[in-house]
């Protein structure tokens, strides 16, 4: 059994990790870390865990935890892990970080967008960006996995094959994404109160959202050149889910015509046809958040707009599962040479 520790176990992503790992055939949670609830019963904080989790919450003593755990998940705010992680800790346990601390390779870019001084830049080159479908072999070998963000997972996967194959002009890419409120975390914030969110939809972080450089870095690598794109997130009054709608100009073929649907479908199938958690939809079927809720699936489809010469790409996922905890468990499975879908064979919940 893999002994697992979770720092930040009482946040939404941490609680989702608990839910998934309790059903994992090869994992045992040995540490429920939460600075806010030390010595309190975990099941008193999340009553859905009544009679399932008898443990008390512990603090964030990574030195003690690394002696007990084989892998440590840090579902913590940006700036936590980069301030405490050491090579000695990494020699004792593997780490899967759900924050952005090790996602962006360029320290200056991270510090600019997050406003945090990076204290362990020497570990950035060792960290692997944990987007399983794109970095599978690297993830298997790493001891420090930077779990991608929810918006980024959806946005990157939806466009990646077409960027990589040069079917779209990546400089024209615009990403419009909607998220449920759990994406903002469990902390009390006025803008996330019921009366602020209910019966409302709003854009936020316009031209400034922190996931932008993460998306740009990964798609720049795919494009083979540095990209700058527009990413605009919106908050919608639902608990879970992300829907990304992405627009780009199609590159014409040598004969001056646009790629056909069949040609683009073939590219998506080549990249994702055998992926356990990516579902490519039929023509005319649009991704919807309700059909992925509670699961580790990403639903993807597209429409060609021949009138404008553009393509509209769409992706949907559950921000707490494939966008956070589920992908983290998927990364753990890869890092410990387990079946990639172990503990993640989740049927989407409906209604």
Q: Which residue, among 46, 92, 52, 42, has the nearest Cα to 70 in the 3D structure?
A: 92
Run of H or E including 92? helix 87-92
Contacts of 67 (CB under 8 A, 6+ apart): 92
Average pLDDT over residues 149-174: 98
Residue 187: per-residue pLDDT: 75
- Say yes or no to pLDDT of 264 above 90: yes
How many beta carbons lie within 10 A of that of residue 75, not counting itself? Answer: 29
Residue 45: per-residue pLDDT: 97
Which of 57, 150, 154, 195 is flagged as catalytic?
150
Residue 107's pLDDT band (boundaries 50, 70, 90)?
very high
The DSSP symbol for 205 reads: S
178 DSSP β-pair partners: 234, 243
Distance CA 156, CA 164 (A): 11
- Where do the domains of the chain lie? 2-126, 151-319
Distance CA 68, CA 180 (A): 35
Architecture of domain 151-319: 2-Layer Sandwich (3.30)
Run of H or E including 162? helix 150-164
Q: Is 150 a catalytic residue?
A: yes
Residues, the chain = 351
pLDDT tens digits along 215-261: 999 999 999 999 999 999 999 999 999 999 999 999 999 999 999 99
Q: Which residue, among 52, 325, 13, has the nearest Cα to 44 in the 3D structure?
A: 52
Decide: pTM greater than 0.75: yes
CA distances from 93 to 58, 118, 343 (A): 18, 21, 21
Residue 255: per-residue pLDDT: 96
Q: Which residue, among 125, 129, 142, has the nearest Cα to 90 in the 3D structure?
A: 142
Topology of the domain covering 2-126: Rossmann fold (3.40.50)
């Amino acid at each position: 059994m893999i002994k697992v520790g979770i720092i930040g176990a009482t946040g939404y992503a941490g609680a989702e990790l608990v839910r998934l790992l309790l059903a994992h055939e090869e994992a045992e949670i040995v540490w429920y870390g939460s600075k806010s609830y030390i010595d309190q019963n975990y099941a008193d904080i999340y009553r859905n865990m009544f009679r399932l989790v008898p443990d008390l919450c512990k603090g964030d003593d990574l030195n003690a935890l690394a002696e007990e755990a084989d892998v440590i998940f840090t579902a913590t705010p940006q700036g936590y892990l980069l301030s405490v992680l050491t090579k000695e800790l990494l020699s004792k346990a593997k780490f899967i970080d759900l924050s952005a601390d090790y996602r962006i390779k360029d320290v200056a870019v991270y510090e600019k967008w997050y406003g945090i001084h990076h204290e362990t830049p020497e570990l950035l080159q060792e960290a692997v960006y944990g987007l399983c479908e794109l970095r599978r072999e690297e993830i298997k070998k790493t001891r420090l996995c930077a779990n991608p963000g929810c918006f980024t997972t959806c946005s990157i996967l939806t466009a990646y094959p077409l960027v990589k194959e040069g079917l779209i002009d990546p400089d024209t890419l615009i990403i419009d994404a909607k998220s449920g409120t759990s994406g903002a975390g469990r902390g009390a914030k006025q803008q996330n109160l019921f009366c602020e969110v209910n019966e409302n939809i709003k854009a936020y972080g316009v031209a400034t959202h922190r996931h932008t450089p993460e998306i740009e870095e990964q798609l720049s690598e795919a494009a083979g050149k540095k990209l700058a794109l527009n990413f605009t997130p919106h908050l919608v009054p639902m608990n879970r889910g992300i829907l990304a709608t992405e627009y780009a100009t199609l590159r014409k073929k040598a004969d001056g015509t646009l790629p056909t649907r069949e040609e683009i479908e073939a590219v998506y199938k080549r990249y994702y046809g055998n992926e356990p958690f990516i579902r490519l939809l039929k023509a005319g079927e649009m991704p919807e958040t309700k059909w992925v809720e509670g699961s580790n699936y990403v639903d993807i489809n597209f429409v060609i707009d021949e009138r404008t010469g553009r393509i509209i790409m769409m992706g949907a996922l559950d921000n707490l599962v494939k966008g956070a905890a589920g992908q983290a468990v998927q990364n753990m499975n890869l890092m410990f040479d387990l079946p990639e879908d172990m503990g993640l064979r989740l049927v989407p919940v409906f209604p």
